[in-house]
Structure 1
Amino acid sequence: MKIYYVYILQCSDKTYYTGITSNLEQRFIEHQQGKHLESYTYKRRPLELVFYAEFTEVGFAIDTEKQIKKWSRAKKEALINDDYEKLPNLAKKKFN
């Protein structure tokens, strides 16, 4: 059974990058070494792996990656910090 990973990297400028791969260790090395010049992370190295989740179905992994990419910084940080109870409230729109 193939495993897919959705991961979040924290960049040196404190931004987050979310990606998907079937080989987490190799993909992290590629990010750290700057293998892809056009990559968001290329000029934001060094990087830190701050979150990952494993999936057995690639479609679900892709959907999860797309969903996380749309999240606010606060919501991503709640996920990273295992503050799952905060996620529903962070998803609500706030009107002032």
Structure 2
Amino acid sequence: MLDRLAADHFTPLLHQTLRLGLPDGSALATRVDSVQACPQARMPHAPADRRMPFTVTLTALEPTGFAGGPCTMELPECGLVQGIWVERLAAMGRDHGGAYFQVVFN
């Protein structure tokens, strides 16, 4: 399933709440901040039908100690998707009390 996800699955969720199912069984409410295609990450001789690599950035809507790992996400067109690796990002100029995440799809 993960290999069939594309940026188009996340674009309708921009600026909306997306709940992550965390590895410990809890849930974390996040906001989808951006969905960006990464054409420079595409292999030079990749078949034309292979998805374009993309990233999704998220901001936690509540305090969390979650640092990253495999999560589940409920996506409108796909249902519950498991095994999505979510990685915490450094605040880098943002509120240091917040929690920011990135999902990379190659």
| TM-score > 0.5 by shorter chain | no
TM-score (norm 2): 0.29
Normalized per residue, which structure has more helix? 1
In terms of fraction of residues, the more strand-rich structure is 2
